[in-house]
Amino acid sequence: MSKVLLVTGGAGFIGANFVLYWLGKYPQDRVVVLDALTYAGNLDNLAAVKDSDAMTFVHGDICDQPLVEALIRDQKVDTLVHFAAESHVDRSITGPDAFIETNVIGTHSLLKAAKKVWLDEEANVEGHRFHHVSTDEVYGTLGPEDPAFREDTPYAPNSPYSASKAASDHLVRAYHHTYGLNVTTSNCSNNYGPFHFPEKLIPLVITNILFDRALPIYGDGKQIRDWLYVEDHARGIDLILEKGRIDETYNIGGINEWANIDIVKLICGLMNEAFANDSGLAERFPEASAAQAGNAESLITYVKDRPGHDRRYAIDPTKANNELGYQPAETFETGIRRTLQWYLENESWWRAVMDGSYRQWIEKQYG
Ligand code: NAD
Ligand code: DAU
C-alpha cells in the first residue's frame, strides 16, 4: 500500500538525503516536505525532485500547530518522519534558545498536531506512525574501554543540543504511553555525505582545504565519533518504518569509530591525492596551495576545545541488526571518497551556501 509521508526538515542534510532515497525507492508514495529554511535548509538539496508530482514543498515552521494539523488532515498523511531541528552543537553553546524552541517546543507541537488529527479526529488514523529522528549524543560520553551505546544506556546529555534532543525523545515516548500515538525513535551516530552543511567537521575540512584555510582541531583531536554514510541512515529509518515495533527505539551506527585528528589527516591525504591525479583541480582551486603541494596537513591547527566536549561516541547496533536485519551498506573507505568527489563536483552548491547567495535568493522568494 502506498504511503503519504510528512518529512519535517526535509531540506536539510539528512532530511533531503532521506527524501531522495525514499522517492527513488518508492516512486508510488507521496512526500510532503515541511521546512522553515533556516540557515541549514536548502531547496537546492531537493532539486532532483522539485518538479516531481510525488513531492510537495511547504515552507513553514514545525511550531505552527494549525499548519501541521492541516497538512496531516488535508494531505492524508499516514507517516510523519521528524528530522527538523537545530543540529549544530557549537551553535547550541553560543545560542541555546533556538534549540529549545525548535527541538523541544517544535517536537511537542508536532506531537500535539499528530494526536489531534490521528487520534482525536480519527482521520487517516489507520497505520499512522510518528517516527522521531534523534541522536546518539543523548547518551553522553564514553571512556575508551566503555561498551558502545545500547538502547538501554541511561540518558546523560552534555550540551544544550543533546539535552534538547533528549527532552524531545522523552516527549515522543510519553505521547505513546499517555495517548496511544504510534511512535518509533532512532538514535543515530555522526552522518556524512552529500549536502552536509560546511560548518560540520568533514565538509568544513574539505572546503577549508580548497580555500587554503586553517583546519581547526578542537583540544587534542583525539575525540572519537562513529561515522555513518547518510544513505545508510535513510535505509535504517526505512527498515524501522517497515519492521520496527511501536514504542521502540533503535540505535543506528556505522561500526566505524575514528578519532577526529585521524579523519582530518585521512581527508588531507585524499585531497593531496586528488590534486596530484587531476591537474584541472589546481586551475579550478588556485587558492588550494597546500593541497597542490601535496601537503594539506600543514593547514592543521589545534584550537581551544569545545566546552563540555564529549570524548567518545559509539553505537552498538545489535538490536537493529537482530530485529530489522540492519547493516550499513557503504564502507568508510568508499563513502569518504564518494563524499570528497561530491564536494569537488558540486562547487556551486557549497559556494552558494558559504557566500550567502542562496540565503539572499531565499529571502527574495519568501520575504
Ligand atoms: P540540518 O541542520 O542539516 O537540517 C535541519 C533542517 O531542519 C533544515 O532544513 C532546517 O531548515 C530545518 N528546520 C530547522 N528548524 C525548523 C523549524 N522550526 N521548522 C521547520 N524546519 C526547521 O540537520 P541534519 O544534520 O540534517 O539533522 C537532521 C536530524 O537528524 C536532526 O533532528 C538531528 O538531531 C538528527 N541527527 C543528525 C545527525 C548528524 O550527524 N547530522 C546524527 C544523528 C541525528
Ligand atoms: O553524533 C551525532 C551528532 O553528530 C548529531 O546529533 C549532530 O547533529 C551532528 O552535528 C554531529 O555532532 P558532532 O558535534 O559530533 O559533529 P561536528 O561535525 O560538529 O564535530 C565532529 C567532531 O569534530 C567533534 O568531536 C568536534 C570536532 N570538531 C568539529 C569542528 C566543526 C573539530 O575538532 N573542529 C571543528 O572545526
Q: Quote the pLDDT of residue 227.
A: 98
* Residue 335 confidence (pLDDT) above 70: yes
The pTM for the full model equals 0.98
Residue 189 Cβ contacting ligand 2 at under 6 Å: yes
Radius of gyration of the chain (CA): 20
Indicate which residue's Cα is closest to atom 35 of ligand 1: 134
- 61 in helix, strand or coil? coil
Q: Quote the pLDDT of residue 367.
A: 65
Kind and range of the H or E run holding 141 = none
| Residues noted as catalytic | 136-137, 161
Give me the DSSP letters along 197-247: -TTSHHHHHHHHHHHT--EEEETTS--EEE-EEHHHHHHHHHHHHHHPPTT
Give the pLDDT band (50/70/90) at residue 363. confident
Measured in angstroms, how far is the CA atom of residue 65 from the centroid of ligand 2?
A: 31
For the CA of 83, the nearest ligand: 1
* Residue 6 confidence (pLDDT) above 80: yes
* Cell triple for 68: 501541521
Indicate which residue's Cα is closest to atom 42 of ligand 1: 190
Q: Quote the pLDDT of residue 87.
A: 98
In the chain, how many H helices and how many E strands?
Answer: 15, 13
Q: Quote the pLDDT of residue 364.
A: 81
Closest atom, ligand 2, to C-alpha of 217: 33
243 contacts 328 by C-beta, under 8 angstroms:
no
Cα separations (Å) of 294 from 111, 285, 356? Answer: 52, 14, 30
Dihedral Cα 33, 37, 43, 45, nearest 10 deg: -80
> For the residues 299-327, what does the mean pLDDT come to?
97
> For the residues 353-361, what does the mean pLDDT come to?
84
* Cell triple for 2: 502506498
Point out which residues pair with 172 in neighbouring strands: none
Burial (CB < 10 A; 0-12, 13-18, 19+), residue 219, is: middle
Alpha helices in 36-106 (DSSP H): 65-74, 89-94, 97-99
> For the residues 171-195, what does the mean pLDDT come to?
98
Measured in angstroms, how far is the CA atom of residue 200 from the centroid of ligand 2?
A: 6
Measured in angstroms, how far is the CA atom of residue 108 from the centroid of ligand 2?
A: 26
Burial (CB < 10 A; 0-12, 13-18, 19+), residue 63, is: middle
Q: Tens digit of pLDDT for each residue in 112-148? A: 999 999 999 998 788 999 999 999 999 999 999 999 9
> For the residues 327-336, what does the mean pLDDT come to?
96
What b/e readout covers 299-332, taking b as 16+ CB neighbours within 10 angstroms?
Answer: bbeeeeeeeeebebbbbbbebbeeebebebebeb
CA 308, 94, 196: angle at the middle one, nearest 5?
Answer: 85
Q: Identify the structural domains of the chain with CATH numbers, from first to last.
A: 4-196+228-256+309-331 (3.40.50.720)
Indicate which residue's Cα is closest to atom 16 of ligand 2: 200
Residue 37 Cβ contacting ligand 1 at under 6 Å: yes
Q: Tens digit of pLDDT for each residue in 23-54? A: 999 999 999 999 999 999 999 999 999 999 99
Measured in angstroms, how far is the CA atom of residue 272 from the centroid of ligand 1?
A: 32
Kind and range of the H or E run holding 82 = strand 79-82
Give the pLDDT band (50/70/90) at residue 274. very high
Mean pLDDT of the chain: 97
Q: Tens digit of pLDDT for each residue in 222-267? A: 999 999 999 999 999 999 999 999 999 999 998 999 999 999 999 9
